[in-house]
Amino acid sequence: MPVTSPVTVQRRASNSGVIMVVGQKIALGRIHARKLVSARVSPDTITIEIGADDIRTVRRTTDQPVRNLQAQRSRKTANVS
């Protein structure tokens, strides 16, 4: 049975400023590329908190359950001497 209460997840925006939550791609804009954002997933909406004063709500178009709560870790290049 799927959980109906809101679930908070973290996502890291791609190089083009897109995140994917429950199988739904959401474009935040290139200005938000590689930023870590929090998304609150409810049965009907996804609310994304980008910063303290930037909150966006989008309608949920999929019915997939939340599978991953945390974002991808940032990838850093190794220092080669």
Hey, where are the domains in the chain? 7-59
Give the pLDDT of residue 28. Answer: 96
pLDDT mean across residues, the chain: 88
57-73, pLDDT tens digit by residue? Answer: 999 999 998 988 887 76
Task: Please determine, for residue 36, whether its predicted confidence score (pLDDT) is greater than 80.
Answer: yes
Task: Please determine, for residue 4, whether its predicted confidence score (pLDDT) is greater than 90.
Answer: no
Residues 6+ apart with CB under 8 A from 48: 19, 26, 28, 37, 38, 39, 40, 55, 56, 57, 58
Question: What percent of the chain clears pLDDT 70, i.e. is strictly above it?
Answer: 84
Quote the tokens at residue 27: 């474009």
Residues 6+ apart with CB under 8 A from 77: none
Q: What is the residue whose two structure tokens read 């949920």?
A: 60
